[in-house]
Structure formats: C-alpha cells, structure tokens
Amino acid sequence: MICFITAGAAVKESGLPREELFITTKAMTTGYRATKLGIDNSLTEAGLDYFDLMLIHWPMQDDLGTYRALEEAYQACKLRSIGVSNFNRAQLGEIMANFQTVPVVDQIETCVLRQQTKLH
C-alpha cells in the first residue's frame, strides 16, 4: 500500500520545529497569474505557511511574469528565498536586470549523459 503524506503533516508528525527544516519546491507554471495561484495552492496542499525555497522549474514562455509572482510571494514572507532551475547566462541576466531580488540559486541538471559543462 502506498501512503502519501503532505509536507506539513510530515513536519508535524516529526516533532521537529518547522524552522529546523528546509523545504524546497518548484513552480511548474508560466506567467504571473498562474504562478501566483500556484504558490498559494502549493502552500495549501502542503499544509505549510511558507516554503524555504521555490524555484522556477525551467525556463518557459513568461519567465519575467513567473519571477514577479515569486518575488511578490517572497516579499509577503510566503517564500524565504527564490531561485531558478536550468537557466542559461542570458536568461539569468534578464531576471537579474528586471528584479530587486536576485535568485539565490540556479539549480542545474547534471548527470552522466548530460554534463552541462558550459552552463556550470
């Protein structure tokens, strides 16, 4: 039998204080409105008041709108930090040129068959 438990339930069940855990998730949306709604839905579904880190899952059509929603959620203390995943130098530069909050991380996929040496 497979049993699924929310992150919030796992935190409560663990007995550990929430601030001792670092919980990361990704925004798999594009654009401001979808991402803003997605953040709130993710928090509700997880049973949490905030995420420690939320990343844009990968570059898509409206990264500026998506990042704007993340930055607003960060400013509202729904996210403790924000970042991106698999953004190249130009994409990361565009984010940094348009927002006050600099991404704390650019998570880059790396495996045996996909080394991403130029991006690293």
Q: What is the CATH number of domain 15-107?
A: 3.30.70
13's CB contacts (< 8 A; 6+ apart) are 5
The rounded distance, in Å, linking the Cα atoms of 54 and 45 is 15
pLDDT digits (tens, 9 = 90+) for 33-72: 999 999 999 999 998 999 999 999 999 999 999 999 999 9
**Mean pLDDT, rounded, for 73-89:** 96
pTM > 0.75: yes
Mean pLDDT of the chain: 91
pLDDT at site 110: 83
pLDDT at site 4: 60
Dihedral over Cα of 101, 6, 62, 73: its sign: negative
pLDDT at site 111: 82
| Structural domain spans, the chain | 15-107
pLDDT value at 3 more than 60: no
